[in-house]
Structures are given as structure tokens and as C-alpha cells.
């Protein structure tokens, strides 16, 4: 045998990184132009006044516009209430289905996704029929005041109920994806074996693992409520989307300016929710490390 040590093998040639293809940049450029050019054109329309040049009066007059602050605060309040009610209904139901018998999962999924096939115009027609039927048949019962309370213009609870129905499919999808990624039965069994109560198990064991899904559900619900027009308009209420349409006839530039502002507000709120969900999800990882 040859006592000389074997020569080291030549290092394999480093793999060349594939250069980004031109078509990828073209697709991104087209997508960016598709979204940004209409916004840019809208902004130019709001600040360019023929014969006067550039003017930001459409934006400076927004704060003092009649109904702007009230409609915006109403929409934000409706969004917060809708998010809370949607999660209050969906989270316990989906956790129970995940722990319970599997045959209930298709039923819950069908019930949660059913609003996708019901047009909003049909939903608001049914709501209007019930609201008209109630006072006529329940005027001598305590429920009469309930029908009046849910239609209070300062905070219409009936819109919260309708928006909860519309948001239920999106909330279900987001939470169901999060629950599929977590072994819920094992977590529940381990927590219960350690003597934890059911509220402690839900709030301290399961929900921390669903922070990203909860943020996603709130993300979608917020976008839906801030942009919904049909139901609120037909029921005679005036949240932010209805207010924008109502001023479009007399103040065209202001309506476009407030539409752009609503997009910015929605993006900021959605980024805040997404940031909060990402930060909370990363916190347990930092503690483990």
C-alpha cells in the first residue's frame, strides 16, 4: 500500500446563482403599474385645479367637512365590534370541532362559508323584512325596545350583526388554517392533565399559538367593514363608505381625496395588525432561544 496520504479532492465548483429572469421584473413592473397608476392619477386629480395650478384644498378641507369625523369613527367602531363578535363566535366553535368528533367539521365549514353564496342585496332584504315585521308584532312585548336599540343611528348594532355574517367565511378560513398547524388535542390534553381549567387552556395555551391567524382574521374583517357600502346604504345608515359616496356629487375632488385617505388609513391599520401578529408570534421563539 502506498504510505503517502491521499491528495485532497478538488472542491466542487460553486453553483452559480441563477440570474433573475427578465420576465419576472416585467411582471412585477406591470403589477405595480396596475395598482399605482390609478392611485397616482387620482392624486393628480385632487391636487391639480385647471387654471389655478396645484392646490391641496381638497385635503385641508376634509377635517372640517360635515360628517367626516363622525362617519370615520362609526366605521372604526363597527369594525372593532365586528372583529370581537366574529372571533367570539368562531374561536370556541372551531376549537370544539377540532377537539370533538371529526364528522362535525364539514357541517361547521358549510355553515361558515354559506355567506359567500348569499348576495349582500339578498341579506339586506331579509334584514329589512325582519326589522319591519318586528315592531308590528312585538309592539306590546319587551322585544320592541330591542328592535329600536339595534337600529340606533349613533351605533347601529344591526350592521355589526350583518357584517359578522359577511366576515364569517374569512374568519373561518384564517382560524382553520392556524388550527390545522397546531396539534390542538395534544395541547388540551397536556394542559388538562396538569390541572389547568378550560378557560386557562383556551386563553393561555391555544390562543397564543393562533396569534398570526387571529391577526389575519382581524385584518380581513377590518378591510371588509371599512369598504362595505350596500348593506349600510340600503338600511339608511351613514358609515364612512356611504359618506364618501354621498359627497361625490357636490365635492368630486374631496370625494376622491377622502377615498385615497381611506386607503391609506386601511393600509396603516392592516400593517399595524400584521405587525402585531408577527411580533407576538416571534416572542415565544425568542424566549425559547
Give the tens place of pLDDT for each residue, 52-95: 777 777 777 777 778 888 888 999 999 999 999 999 999 998 98
CATH number of the domain at 249, please: 1.10.3720.10
Alpha helix (H) residue ranges in the chain: 22-47, 57-60, 68-99, 104-113, 120-137, 143-149, 157-180, 184-193, 198-201, 211-227, 230-235, 240-246, 252-288
185 within a domain of the structure (yes/no):
yes
Kindly state whether residue 221 falls inside one of the protein's structural domains: yes
Looking at the structure of the chain, the number of domains it has is: 1
Residue 1 confidence (pLDDT) above 50: no
User: Does residue 279 sit within a domain?
Assistant: yes
Where is pLDDT greater, at 142 or 195?
195
Q: Please classify residue 172 by burial: count the beta carbons closer than 10 Å to its beta carbon, then call 0-12 exposed, 13-18 middle and 19+ buried.
A: buried
* Integer Cα distance of 262 and 76 in angstroms: 11
User: What's the whole-number average pLDDT of the chain?
Assistant: 81
pLDDT at 140 over 50: yes
In a domain, 161, yes or no: yes
List the grid coordinates of 146.
330591542
Instruction: Kindly tell me if the per-residue pLDDT of 5 is higher than 70.
Output: no
State which residues form the domain around 114: 67-284
pTM over cut 0.85:
no
pLDDT at 36: 85
Is residue 15 in some structural domain? no
- Domain assignment present for 280: yes
Q: Which residue would you say has higher pLDDT here, 24 or 175? A: 175
| 122 part of a folded domain | yes
- Establish if 91 belongs to a structural domain: yes
Amino acid at each position: 500500500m502506498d504510505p503517502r496520504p491521499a491528495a485532497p479532492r478538488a472542491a466542487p465548483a460553486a453553483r452559480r446563482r441563477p440570474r433573475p429572469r427578465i420576465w419576472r421584473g416585467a411582471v412585477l413592473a406591470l403589477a405595480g403599474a396596475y395598482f399605482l397608476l390609478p392611485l397616482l392619477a387620482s392624486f393628480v386629480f385632487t391636487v391639480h385645479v385647471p387654471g389655478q395650478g396645484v392646490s391641496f384644498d381638497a385635503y385641508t378641507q376634509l377635517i372640517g367637512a360635515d360628517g367626516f369625523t363622525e362617519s370615520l369613527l362609526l366605521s372604526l367602531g363597527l369594525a372593532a365590534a365586528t372583529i370581537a363578535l366574529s372571533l367570539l363566535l368562531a374561536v370556541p366553535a372551531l376549537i370544539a370541532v377540532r377537539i370533538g368528533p371529526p364528522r362535525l367539521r364539514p357541517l361547521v365549514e358549510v355553515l361558515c362559508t354559506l355567506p359567500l353564496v348569499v348576495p349582500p342585496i339578498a341579506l339586506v332584504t331579509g334584514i329589512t323584512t325582519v326589522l319591519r315585521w318586528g315592531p308590528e308584532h312585538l309592539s306590546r312585548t319587551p322585544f320592541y325596545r330591542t328592535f329600536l336599540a339595534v337600529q340606533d343611528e349613533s351605533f347601529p348594532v344591526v350592521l355589526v350583526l350583518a357584517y359578522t355574517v359577511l366576515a364569517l367565511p374569512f374568519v373561518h378560513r384564517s382560524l382553520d388554517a392556524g388550527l390545522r398547524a397546531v396539534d390542538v388535542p395534544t395541547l388540551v390534553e397536556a394542559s388538562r392533565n396538569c390541572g389547568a381549567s378550560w378557560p386557562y387552556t383556551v386563553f393561555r395555551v391555544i390562543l397564543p399559538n393562533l396569534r398570526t391567524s387571529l391577526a389575519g382574521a382581524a385584518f380581513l374583517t377590518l378591510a371588509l367593514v371599512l369598504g362595505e357600502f350596500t348593506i349600510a346604504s340600503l338600511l339608511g345608515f351613514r358609515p364612512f363608505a356611504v359618506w364618501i359616496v354621498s359627497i361625490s356629487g357636490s365635492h368630486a375632488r374631496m370625494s376622491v381625496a377622502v377615498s385615497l385617505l381611506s386607503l391609506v388609513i386601511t393600509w396603516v391599520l392592516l400593517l399595524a395588525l400584521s405587525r402585531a401578529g408577527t411580533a407576538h408570534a416571534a416572542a415565544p421563539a425568542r424566549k425559547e432561544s
